[in-house]
A and B are shown apart, each in its own frame.
Chain A
Amino acid sequence: MYIIIILIFISILVALSFLIAFLWAVKSGQFEDRYTPSVRVLFDEEKKSEKSNNKK
């Protein structure tokens, strides 16, 4: 029965990791612009090849 206590702490840890992920996402500015990235993903095909060229 007391295994539940361990489970509870694990569940809190999991929830905490999500919280930290969210805070990090806010901090890194992912919510700053909620429109442009949605357009940007549609450009990818050509860009990928270009990026790999640039890296070399």
Chain B
Amino acid sequence: MSGEKAYINEEVICYHCGDICSDKTISKEDKFFCCSGCKIVFEILEENKLCRYYDFENNPGISPAVRNETKYSYLEDEQTQKQILDFSDGKISTVTFQIPQMHCSSCIWLLENINRLNAGIITSRVNFLQKKLSLKFLSGVTTLKDIVELLDSIGYEPLINLESVEKKKKSGYNKKLYYKIGVTGFAAGNIMLFSFPEYLGLNRNLDSVFGNLFGYLNLLISIPVLLYSASVYYIPAIKALRKKTINIDFPISLGIFVLFFRTAYEILTHTGAGYADSLTMLVFLLLIGKIFQNKTYEALNFERTYKSYFPLSVAIIKSGVETTIPLSNLKKGDRIIVRNGELIPADSILFKGDGNIDYSFVTGESMPVNKVLGEIVYAGGKQVGEAVELEVLKDVSQSYLTQLWNNDTFTKNEGQNVSWFSNMVGKYFTIAVLLIANISTIIWLNIKPEMALNVFTATLIVACPCALALAIPFTLGNILRNFGREKFYLKNTNTIERIAKIDTIVFDKTGTITQSGNSEVRFIGDALDEIDKSLVKSIARHSTHPLSRRVYLEFQDCEHFGISNLKEYAGKGISGNILTSKVALGSYAFVTGSAEGEKNPKDEKSSKVYFGINDVLRGVFLINNSYREGIEKVISELKKKYELHMLSGDNENEKPHLAKVFRNISKLHFKQSPEDKLNYILDLQKKGKKVLMIGDGLNDAGAIKQSDVGISISEDISGFSPACDGILDSENFSQLPELISYSKTGMKIIYMSFVFSTLYNITGLYFAISGSLTPVFAAILMPVSSVSVVLYCVLASNLFAKYRLKRIN
């Protein structure tokens, strides 16, 4: 296996990371690499006899980012170290890193054998689902900085940011629920065993000693279930009562209590066998439903704020000396240094250096914007190229981008994962049941008073909406899993209900409707030589128009020249003098000076940028629309059922194109600031709309948070995304209409299951009211109704998933 050259269509792929090698110059022995970074990683691994890394998976590696000596110097700061380390006693330290890059078994193997690369590391343990690496190391032998640099050098850069430090150790899974299931399972199994004589009618033949013994044992074993396991239902029920509402937990709690006390009464007075088996079985099933519903995507983070992206510390210059300070100590007027690939933490003025800022974090637009001395650079941008010096203008939390998080939307208390439907039902259900129980008791009091209490309790037992309480978690939990298979990851099951209720959809443009970075540029005209290319680059880098920026990206590797007499005309083009020529880039009329003679190959799929030197046309760049695949289909399908809006932070350049797609100009809004977007959603909601917002950048964060359902679209689901209710992998964007309609189907399945469970309840009520509910009958009816409803829900939701979601795949 190893040593074999991997050829795919004559192209050589990198032995380390599997990317296609653009040339075959970087190689070692018979192995080819796409870049020197990959080769270095291979050499490190080979030197330390870690080449088994390549045996588990083909080309498992990650191409490391370009290194930068001072990138991790802030880790030398003791204060910072304290924040990052989980524990340290001066000799041994433990630390847990989030490593989003880990993706295969080779990664696990290498990271767990990391001690071979650094002798100071004692143990390393990977939690793959959470993408976490726990390390224990000797503080004297190695340092935190060394370890982080080592991980970075082999391509596994740990995520260290403000958020990871502030929110340490949030255990994702609920141990208590597992304890409760264990206890209840134990109880249910044993009680069922002791109830067998009763089921088979053998009790009468047995010695009464046995009958009583079994009864006492059942009662004893069901006490922990009542007091411990079922408490997950009492607490929300009591909380709701305090708020003077009734939720579905109330009738369930009521049912459980009545079951227990009637059982205790019957056993202690030797009047019957009680319902301990039904009680424990019911609680057991309910808890399983809870576990099923609690499925979460541990590796994904739905709660991100700007803090998830901002660095822990910044390098500042104080009286000529560079020092590192924690970000929280950064003040107005500080002079900071931002190096290649580093994030600008606060709004500042460019003081020294060549600013080339990539705002992809903020806008989703990946093309860097050129900035000159004295210009304001906004927080959230990333410097590309040489280091720059900035003077801080505003505090971190008051910057243009970050002040969004001071909005009330972000301080609002998050609703819990409580189903709206089940609470609605719970309310009316409880009232109905209490009415029926009371009326039938009153009637029985008049006919046969000794039966009245019996009927009252039997009614409450049978009416317990356990089938419904199971239908909701199982259906929604199952839908959540089916969504996950379609690369649509929801924060919790409650989101499905909210998706089913929306009537308005708001799109972000950049990064949502358009896709950054994949558009193709073709040049038509005489071939450009190196100088021409440099001219194009020099002029394009000053433009803010997305098309020019795209052209600029194409010639990024070329030289660029100084430019004079630079003029940019909005909607027309940009011109300037470079060397001795007048260079122009823009529309045909702008470049040639007259509108005549434009050959117009009716090519709607691409935009054209003309390029001329000294008023003579040199050629045209054809740029393919970078609209996301399937956008027309998505829009036309969604338009049938929903009101569509679009909010864009960009200017109106693309309005004609977008108007064609949306066919409704009035609802396209341009030049929207993050705050505008948030307020727009708020306005829609005030009009009574239920809004679904789809966006990608941090500039949508406010709108996504404010909307009823906020979905973030992402090229790399474990990478960047703002706080949201769901993350959709961008490759499945065209499935959006199906995903929404599947949510609606899910709710219909639940409504149907409600009908079924009501039928069961009515059957049970008939027996309860007529006073003939026997323990055996209850023991059969309860599990049968629950299990059949659960089966129906799971089967139906899977069946619809097959028809609704697999249409494309």
Contact = CB atoms under 8 A, between A and B. Distances in A.
Interface of A: 1, 4-5, 8, 11-12, 15-16, 18-19, 22-23, 26-27, 31-36, 39-40, 42-43, 46
A36 B217 contact: no
A4 B210 contact: yes
Contacts of A4: 210
B129 A23 contact: no
Nearest to A43: B109
A23 B213 contact: no
B128 A33 contact: yes
Interface string B179-190: 100110010011
B173 interface: yes
A33 to B, nearest CB: 5
Given A31-B178, A39-B108, A40-B112, A19 B128 contact: no
Given A4-B210, A15-B190, A19-B186, A35 B129 contact: yes
A50 B85 CA distance: 28
Contacts of A27: 175
Contacts of B189: 15
A25 B170 CA distance: 20
* Residues of B in contact with A, size category: 20 to 34
Interface in B76-107: 105
A32 B217 CA distance: 34
B127 interface: yes
Contact of A36 (B126, B190, B207): B126
Q: Is the interface of A mostly helix, strand, loop or mixed?
A: helix
Nearest to B123: A54
B130 A15 contact: no
11 contacts: A1-B207, A11-B193, A15-B189, A19-B186, A23-B182, A26-B178, A31-B173, A33-B129, A36-B126, A36-B129, A43-B112
B182 A35 contact: no
A27 B175 CA distance: 7
B213 A5 contact: yes
A5 B175 CA distance: 35
A40 B108 contact: yes
B52 interface: yes
B108 A26 contact: no
A3 B56 CA distance: 57
Given A23-B179, A23-B182, A39-B105, A34 B129 contact: yes
Contacts of A36: 108, 126-129
Nearest to A18: B186
Given A15-B190, A39-B128, A26 B52 contact: no
A26 B186 contact: no
B190 A26 contact: no
Interface string B217-244: 1000000000000000000000000000
A14 to B, nearest CB: 10
Interface of B: 52, 56, 105, 108-109, 112, 126-130, 173, 175, 178-179, 182-183, 186, 189-190, 193-194, 207, 210, 213, 217
Contacts, number: 54
Contact of B127 (A16, A19, A32, A43): A32
Contacts of B193: 11
A19 B179 CA distance: 9
Contacts of A33: 127-130
Nearest to A5: B213
Contacts of B128: 33, 35-36, 39
Contact of A19 (B175, B182, B217): B182
A28 to B, nearest CB: 10
A38 B780 CA distance: 39
B116 to A, nearest CB: 9
A44 to B, nearest CB: 11
A12 B127 contact: no
A46 B127 contact: no
A9 B179 CA distance: 23
A25 B219 CA distance: 27
Nearest to A19: B186
A12 B126 CA distance: 38
Contacts of A22: 182
A18 B71 CA distance: 52
B179 A12 contact: no
Contacts of B126: 36
B348 to A, nearest CB: 42
A32 B129 CA distance: 9
A11 to B, nearest CB: 8
B109 A32 contact: no
Closest 3 CB pairs of A and B: A36-B128, A19-B186, A26-B178
A39 B178 CA distance: 24
B735 to A, nearest CB: 26
Nearest to A27: B175
Nearest to B183: A19
Contacts of A16: 186
A36 B131 CA distance: 10
Contacts of B52: 46
Given A33-B128, A33-B130, A26 B175 contact: yes
A27 B105 CA distance: 26
Contacts of A1: 207
A46 B189 CA distance: 43
A26 B179 contact: yes
Contacts of B207: 1
B190 A12 contact: yes
Nearest to A26: B178
A36 B107 CA distance: 11
Nearest to A34: B129
A4 B189 CA distance: 18
Contacts of A43: 108-109, 112
A11 B207 CA distance: 20
A39 B108 CA distance: 8
A34 B210 CA distance: 43
